[in-house]
Amino acid sequence: MSGSYGDAERIRLLEAELEALRASAAGRARKRFRVKAVAPRQGRDRGCWVLRVYGPGLTASGRRELTRIPFEDDTRRRAEGAALVRQGRLNGEGLTLLEVLAQYSAGRSSSVSKSTRGTDRQARRRLEQSEFVALRDPLRGAEVLALRDYLAGHYRASSASLVFGNMKSAWRWAQARDLVSAPWPELPRRRTARGDKCKKRAFSEEEVADLLNHFAVYRGGRYLPLCWALAETACRISELVALEVRDAAPSVDGGAVLQIGRRVPTKTGAPRTAAVSPALACCLELARDPESPLFRGIRDPALPLHVGSFGSAMTTWLKAVGLFGVRDTHSLRRRGAVRLHQSGVPVEIAKRVTGHESSQVFLSYAERGEYRLEDERRLLWVAPPRRDS
């Protein structure tokens, strides 16, 4: 019983008294002790939480235990947690994982969003529907491993990972408040064999052309400029969406030069320039308000294009053509690095164009293209993509 609460001021039953209570309940196994936390507003216990213990060997009114926990709104969970710990000690069993999840949800219900509360309910519901509903403190590693495998086998990978992580967080939350005695078991991480991992690749020229033709008609062509600029400049998507019209200066050949990192610092911290073709410069509509976004949003043209919105549109197309998992939005940046590398641009110059800090990182992008040099005829497109009628 020593250290059950971690606080010397909290009252607990003596070992001998506890054994006597258990002995008195031996012939009445169905009767269990229950503990309730109450907050008297008058009388001698006014101002502190009191635990009322009911069960075998006690009077009808139970046993009163002063906890010395001040009666304040923000300490109510401490009193309720102390009641749960006392009840578990008296009954000789620890809390179940389901009870821990319930306490975790109730203890932070006022400080989390509605979606997070829904995730907590989902974790409890799925645990109730499984054979692991009786898991209790202390947890064994084999039990938790079997629970993880059960979730992975019955639910989607993202849902299983979310629910299992919620259970782990709830257990650690309970341990920090002395609701459980044993820590969450350390499990080996689920790893995929290196040879089975799908390595992302750069787009080919044909795939880029098909993608641009798709975005030329999709949502009125609002995603086309950003997609085109990603493939041409090999810049990061976060760097491009932060640009304004004043960051694009006309060039002598009719194109434009983008000032990357002039106002908003980049990942590497050094400003740089990126040239775009005349066709793309025409598509960008540079004769606009200088302070307006260079890549305008879908719903509100006065705001920059949202990265998540562009990623969702890209994912829809990738799934339709069967490239999902092999290509992503970053594959357009890889495409630009491949074109620079295979066109004979020195690595030291090319990495400054793309914004990479080291030559090794740039080559890891460029050498993942696996395309022939004769397929790369130019650095920039000279004509806008075809618009289907």
Residue 137: pLDDT over 80: no
Residue 215: pLDDT over 90: yes
Residue 174: pLDDT over 90: no
Calpha distance 369→342 (Å, rounded): 9
Q: What is the pLDDT of residue 379?
A: 36
Show Cβ contacts of residue 176 under 8 Å, excluding neighbours closer than 6 positions. Answer: none
Residue 341: pLDDT over 80: yes
Q: Is the peptide bond before 301 cis (omega within 30 degrees of 0)?
A: no
In order of their start, the domains of the chain are 1-93 (no CATH), 95-188 (1.10.150), 205-375 (1.10.443.10)
Residue 194: pLDDT over 60: no
Calpha distance 322→15 (Å, rounded): 67
Q: What is the pLDDT of residue 228?
A: 92
Q: Please give the residue that has the higher pLDDT: either 101 or 209.
A: 209
Summarize the confidence of residues 148-170 as an average pLDDT: 80
Q: How confident is the model at residue 16 (pLDDT cuts 50, 70, 90)?
A: low
Give the distance, in angstroms, between the CA of residue 152 and the centroid of all CA atoms in the same chain. 18
Residue 107: pLDDT over 70: no
The runs of H, that is alpha helices, within the chain are 15-24, 76-90, 97-107, 114-128, 141-154, 157-176, 205-217, 224-233, 237-241, 278-284, 307-321, 330-342, 347-354, 359-366
Percent of the chain with pLDDT over 70: 73
Model pTM score: 0.50
* pLDDT mean across residues, the chain: 75
Calpha distance 258→124 (Å, rounded): 52
In this structure, of 18-27, 33-42, 353-362, the range with the lowest mean pLDDT score is: 18-27
In this structure, of 33-37, 167-171, 338-342, the range with the lowest mean pLDDT score is: 33-37
DSSP H or E run through 258:
strand 256-260
Let me know: does 45 contact 66? Beta carbons within 8 Å: yes
Which tokens sit at 95? Answer: 């809390």
Give the chain's length. 389
Q: What is the pLDDT of residue 178?
A: 59
Sign of the four-CA dihedral 24, 28, 30, 31: negative
Q: What is the pLDDT of residue 52?
A: 81
Q: Please give the residue that has the higher pLDDT: either 215 or 28.
A: 215
Show Cβ contacts of residue 101 under 8 Å, excluding neighbours closer than 6 positions. Answer: 120, 123, 124, 127, 166, 167, 170
